[in-house]
C-alpha cells in the first residue's frame, strides 16, 4: 500500500453553517464563493455536532472536514471529466440531538445536496437514516457514527470503524490477558453501543468470562457513584466503559476515588483534553483504551505515518490544537468522496459515484489518513464498510495523553 499523498494549502472556511445557495442537481456552473475550481462547484452537506453533549468530538471532526475542503479548493479543485470543480459545504449543526439531526438533514437535502459527510452520533444517524436509507440518488459518508448494520443501506458508506470492530478487538485483548470476570457500564443514549451490548455479552460468554454487572449512565451525567458502587462491589478483574470520552474520563476518576484499582478497558478515544477537563490524570494508571487509532497513533504506522504527520501539522497550524479522535476519518471521508467523483467522471450521477466508491483502493485517494485494512481484493469498502487496524492505547504521564501501545489486526 502506498502512503497517501496530501493536498497542500489551507483556506479560510469557518466551522459554522454556510448559507444555502440554489444549485441545480447538486452542482453549479456559476461561482458560489468557493476558491478554485474554475466556477464549477459541487455542494456537499456537512452534518456536524457543533453544540450539545457530543461537541467535544464533533467540533474536531467538523474542523477536519473543513480543512480537507479548504485544501482541495486552494489547490485549484479536483478534476472531473476534464473540468475543475471546487466544493461548497452546507454545514448544519445537529446539536447532538436526534430531532435536530433530522431537521438538519432535511435542510441539507432541500438545499440541493446529493452528498453528506460527517455524523458523530449513532443516535442522530438512527433518527435520519429512515429518510435516506433507500434513496438511490443520495450518498452519506459516515466519518464518526459507528452503529452496526447501517451500511446495508444503498445510500450509506462508512470509511470508519464499526462497534463490532471495537467488540472484536476488545474480546481479543480480554482473551490474550486471561480476564475471567468483568463489569460493564454503557452510555444509555449511545444507540450504537446499546445495540452492540448483546453481541459483546455473547462474545464474553463464549470466552467463559463472567459479567458481574452491566450498568449504564446518561450522556452528560456528572455523578456515577451509584452505578460504580454496583459495578465494583464484586471486585471484577476489569471494568469496561463504552460511551463518549468526556463522560468516561469522569467515570474513571470517580472509580478510582471509590477505591477501584483494577484494570479499566475503555472503548472511547480518550484524549488529553477530556483527561485535563476531568482532572483525571492521576486516575489513568492501569487504563487501556481499545479503539481505532488516533492521528497521533497513526504517526507510527508504516503505511500512513507520512500522511498522518502532514495532516497533523496542517490541522494544528489551522486550529492551534491537535486533531480529535475522529478527525483523521473525517478528513479521509472528504478525500474518499472526491476520489470517487474523479473516478466516476461525474458529480451529478449518483449511481456512477456509488460504483466508483465500491471500486476505490487506498492508493486512489489523495489525503487518506487512516488505518484502513484493504479487502482481499485491495478495496477500501466491502459492502460499503471499511475495515480498520485497531489500537490498544495507554496513558503516558509525561504527555498527559494516551498513546499507542500495540495494534490489533484482523478485527
**pLDDT tens across the length of the chain (411 residues):** 333 334 333 232 233 332 322 222 344 333 333 344 457 999 999 999 999 988 989 999 999 999 999 999 999 999 999 999 999 999 999 999 999 999 999 999 999 999 999 999 988 999 999 999 999 999 999 999 988 899 999 999 999 988 899 999 999 999 999 999 999 999 998 888 999 999 999 999 999 999 999 999 998 899 999 999 999 998 999 999 999 999 999 999 999 999 999 999 999 999 999 999 999 999 999 999 999 898 988 988 888 899 999 999 999 999 999 999 899 999 999 999 999 999 999 999 999 999 999 999 999 999 999 889 899 999 999 999 999 889 999 999 999 999 999 888 766
* Cβ-based neighbours of 206, under 8 Å, separated by 6 or more: none
pLDDT at 189: 87
| Alpha carbon 99 to chain centroid, angstroms | 21
* Cβ-based neighbours of 140, under 8 Å, separated by 6 or more: 115, 116, 117, 119, 132, 155, 156, 157
What is the residue whose three cell numbers read 444509555? 188
The enclosing H or E element of 230 equals helix 225-232
CA distance readout (Å), 269 to 56, 181, 265, 366? 11, 23, 11, 25
- Cα pseudo-dihedral 386, 389, 394, 395, rounded to 10: -50
For residue 217, list its beta bridge partners: 187
Contact (Cβ atoms closer than 8 angstroms) between residue 200 and residue 290: no
Is residue 165 classed as helix, strand or coil in its secondary structure?
A: helix
The second-level CATH assignment, the architecture, of 163-291+391-408 is 3-Layer(aba) Sandwich (3.40)
Query: What are the residue ranges of CATH 3.40.50.2300 in the chain?
Result: 27-161+302-380, 163-291+391-408
CATH class of 27-161+302-380: alpha beta
238-242 β-sheet, strand order: 210-217, 181-187, 238-242, 263-267, 287-291, 390-396, 401-408
Sign of CA dihedral 77, 366, 152, 242: negative
Amino acid at each position: 500500500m502506498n502512503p497517501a499523498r496530501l493536498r497542500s494549502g489551507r483556506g479560510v472556511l469557518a466551522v459554522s453553517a454556510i448559507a444555502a445557495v440554489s444549485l441545480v442537481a447538486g452542482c453549479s456552473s456559476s461561482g458560489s464563493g468557493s476558491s478554485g475550481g474554475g466556477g464549477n462547484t459541487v455542494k456537499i452537506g456537512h452534518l456536524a455536532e457543533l453544540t450539545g453533549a457530543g461537541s467535544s468530538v464533533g467540533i474536531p471532526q467538523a474542523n477536519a472536514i473543513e480543512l480537507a475542503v479548504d485544501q482541495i479548493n486552494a489547490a485549484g479543485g479536483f478534476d472531473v471529466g476534464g473540468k475543475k470543480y471546487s466544493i461548497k459545504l452546507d454545514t448544519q449543526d445537529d446539536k447532538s440531538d436526534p430531532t435536530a439531526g433530522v431537521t438538519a438533514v432535511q435542510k441539507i437535502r432541500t438545499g440541493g445536496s446529493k452528498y453528506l459527510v460527517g455524523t458523530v452520533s449513532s443516535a442522530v444517524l438512527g433518527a435520519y437514516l429512515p429518510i435516506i436509507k433507500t434513496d438511490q440518488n443520495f450518498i452519506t459518508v459516515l466519518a464518526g457514527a459507528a452503529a452496526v448494520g447501517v451500511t446495508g443501506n444503498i445510500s450509506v458508506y462508512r470509511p470508519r470503524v464499526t462497534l463490532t470492530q471495537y467488540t472484536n478487538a476488545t474480546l481479543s485483548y480480554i482473551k490474550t490477558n486471561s480476564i475471567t470476570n468483568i463489569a460493564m457500564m454503557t452510555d444509555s443514549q449511545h444507540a450504537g453501543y446499546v445495540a452492540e451490548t448483546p453481541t459483546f455479552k455473547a462474545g464474553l460468554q463464549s470466552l467463559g468470562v463472567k459479567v458481574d454487572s452491566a450498568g449504564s449512565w446518561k450522556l452528560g451525567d456528572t455523578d456515577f457513584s451509584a452505578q460504580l458502587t454496583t459495578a465494583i462491589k464484586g471486585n471484577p478483574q476489569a471494568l469496561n466503559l463504552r460511551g463518549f470520552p468526556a463522560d468516561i474520563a469522569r467515570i474513571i476518576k470517580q472509580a478510582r476515588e471509590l477505591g477501584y484499582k483494577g484494570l479499566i478497558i475503555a472503548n472511547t478515544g480518550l484524549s488529553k483534553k477530556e483527561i485535563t477537563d476531568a482532572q483525571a490524570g492521576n486516575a489513568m494508571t492501569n487504563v487501556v483504551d481499545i479503539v481505532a487509532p488516533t492521528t497521533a497513533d497513526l504517526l507510527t504506522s508504516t503505511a500512513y505515518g507520512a500522511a498522518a504527520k502532514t495532516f497533523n501539522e496542517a490541522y494544528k497550524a489551522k486550529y492551534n490544537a491537535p486533531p480529535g479522535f475522529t478527525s483523521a476519518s473525517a478528513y479521509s471521508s472528504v478525500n474518499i468522496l472526491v476520489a470517487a467523483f474523479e473516478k466516476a467522471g461525474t458529480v451529478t450521477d449518483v449511481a456512477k459515484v456509488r460504483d466508483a466508491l465500491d471500486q476505490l483502493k487506498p492508493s486512489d485517494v489523495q489525503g487518506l489518513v487512516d488505518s484502513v485494512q484493504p479487502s482481499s481484493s485491495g478495496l477500501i469498502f466491502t459492502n460499503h464498510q471499511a475495515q480498520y487496524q485497531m489500537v490498544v492505547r495507554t496513558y503516558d504521564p509525561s504527555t498527559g495523553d494516551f498513546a499507542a501501545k500495540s495494534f490489533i489486526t484482523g478485527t
